[in-house]
Structure 1
């Protein structure tokens, strides 16, 4: 057996290994220990020692070359632990202070690229999240100006941008962001889960046909196709909702599509599905099915709209008593829709064989009639009062109905009421006025027998001062208002005031007439007089707020909104005008940050028109935020050409150079 190389080396002694070892050492060059001395002398700027050490290494290692970085400045190793601790707390003010302190000590120092990059992104995220939370949609858009939807990896930030564009009505920008997210290719393509979420968002912003086309392009894998089923169901919900909302559409949606929603509603917990199907079936004249859906929805939660649907379904099935019971149960909620409530309650008053209405029902019906100025229902209530021998109330309601719309049966009812009251003078005046118009009526009236009916609940009297007197032949203030005879309207109400106490309804209409005449102080007084009546309070508050805004009394208008309730739509309208006036005033006073604050608050309520976006751009410009100013003007310039926008874009661009 041949001895091993190791054994041979042992037999030959160290001399057999030393030439090989020496050769290897000569080839390898200096190690870290020897080079450390070289770097040390260079760092200490000891040039003589540096040269001597270089010569020594060259003698020992003939191929030695001095490393290039020996003469380079030594990189400073800076401890950024404190900065990262502040970063985790989102303490951007503290970070700025710490960076300033360090640069004061060493002007050449700056944070690492890693820290600076991550800080910028963290600030952007925090700013976008805060703006989204306060619904400052323009603030979200400004904070997201560096995002590229086609490459951005933090997709939730792009989703915030989508919400902002959707809320501000920026349709073109919205489309571009969706395109950048959904139609990426290669390794930039979004994961399936993020594609699904984005498509679900798109059902809010685009037609069902457009979303389905996009789904057809994107559904490239069986897994994604299966995941799109919830999106397809959302599209069906959208289709059904659009059908329900469009009065002109009568052709039903394909039953195969609706069947999926029916199945989901049967086993699901979504109240919205039950309501959608109820209104869908009601529109298709299938009230039995609609009744079932609405009852299921109301079993989950008391809800005004679903109660309306159930009432209409029962009425369509001729289940009048059940329908009336729903109206009675929801009498408070339905009072926000007086026309609906009035029609729903009329059953108790329109037929003589109906049971007595209770006090709550009589009050609600009376208020609804006054709120809508409905002559037909005023006549129904007048006959109800007459047939129950409440002749004063009957007279007052017949006068109301005649004020709103003349008809022979109303003249007859008023004449009969006057006869039962023994008001011979008023009766004669009425007959004299209408004898030639309705000649056959009067002989029948004079031989009519008095009613024998009685009711346990008194019919409430309307505000008789709000109508013209019987037989007077005058035109009511309401008719003047509807005909836009505003001066005559004011004159009529003022005449009633001179005769005694005037109704809240009359003062409300007087306020609108004064406002149309631009007599703002008088309009304000009239509206404030109508604020004390619960029936007219909301309308009076709205009118007063508009009057105050017309007079540029912005703070007073805001106080009016804060004090008195209004519908959501009206409050949004008033607040939008408040913020516009504040923005305009702040701009005139060169308070540019206040301009932006007011515009951001307004943009959270309604879409921002181009003229206000110009105001935004100039505010950024005057605050020194030239980049943001340029972005605003550039976006406006892309939408349409306007000389003022072009000037703003030019000014902000020149300044940036």
Structure 2
């Protein structure tokens, strides 16, 4: 046995692609002459070979006789001026008879003297195939020995296959399209590019993009009509990916006028490619396509192109460029998409106030738009320090939240109310949030904090019972150090093609503030901060547990209860200092809160300072840290407050058994001042609890050498433990 190698070229190249889906492809490929069926074609699969087992070698057969080519159809189509069918017939005959040369003048072909056959060709040219079948059958009945020319029957079969292929394509029966194409290779010629397009589409729709790419490549390598080539690029772009399209575009030709043939559709192609980049951040879109759209935006004020660029850049986290184009699109035409994109970039750079304003109009446009709007509102309410918002803005946000039952923004309303010392309002928001989502722990924790501030201990215990075993911070909310929940805005995800399926979330977290403070305060009632007061300057009483404001001589002007909201800010500052001397720190904090609204920067500074001191005295260390940031402080005061707050935090963390946190606070404190002896002892004990025995011994031995009793005792305890082992 020896192998016979059949090399397929031309039409065969595309047929091989089709045949991979059809077991009968060899039979269809070998119809007529197996060496090729389109003279103009260049094989996509050039050099690809199919090896078939041949029979044992036999004696050479006699040379075959030259076949007789029926050219009657050529004359008929030429006589009718049907150029398209004439070209299709020439292509078909070339496929069947590779050595055949078409006549220079088809009209010179001898006229068929069979009038009935001429009528049949007329029916064929008019696509009246049912009538043609009837005419053939009728003649065979009248003339039992008559048979129609093979040329006519073959063309009729091909024409009917073409109708079947188009029908299957229109019905989206793509597997049938591939099958019919593989069974009828003579359909796949440049004379009928529509069929080639349909076959390529069928490959794409059946998840064989590589074969679809081959089909489009075949057209661009073999077919020459510019309109068809441009249409091929457009159709390919609808189904193929960016990289495949770049390879197809390399097959572009230069027109006689010197222009690239695909130039008329280059803008649309650029938009398609940039849109793909807006969905896939790993896709590297050529800068030339981005520049093409950029120029269009600048010259034509094209909002849609600006949006494409905006989504492309936001997918790559280039928020500055994204905001530039979204703002351009928004300024040209205020649409939901433009507003949404702009809002996302504004949230990313922490301008939630403008983001809410931009999105409010479009909050109900879609699920994505609604998600973006509530991302903006949640971030706005969670701002640090809490922003002072117009009542109209608060009302419209509240209405939208209650209408949509938006859990996260409702929760943030609760914390926002707490920030402005409105625990009753906060409690209502947290309860409403839990009514919408009973298992939402952040709202339950917020409700516990609000009830604690309302001194509703029974309500706090009720929440603790419900959440027992499920939330450690709720269980510990009533302990001496009450962590005020701070908020961080979590950036939006990569999408949205979701384009906003990716929403900015705001969650409460217990944050360790590196820039907050302290341990010991010198003189809280400073004469220069309140010239009209008559506070005495007594020394601060020091305590190893917590810095405490010592009592000065009480002032008679604040013994009666007065709602500080009724006072002018410049008057409230005096009442705050007066209340501090009466050891009523929470009332003083409220008075200082009113004073923070003063038009005077000096009074606002003193009010923030005083409120921070008031919270320190009340043991609300984190509230003190927040108050310290409400107005710019002079450096000495800022360091003073930071030192006091960090010192208190370190001590409270140690008492609560959070030893790692204790060391963190002490490390932050060490950056502000030389560590005091009592805090060094605290650090050594924290190291001991963390099993850092060597570090603890180093500190205790040094302090014990100075006679520090706490250090001597700690050193003795460690050595006793060593002896017991």
TM-score (norm 1): 0.44
Instruction: Report which of the two structures shows the higher radius of gyration computed on alpha carbons.
Output: 2
Between Structure 1 and Structure 2, the one with more helix by share is: 1
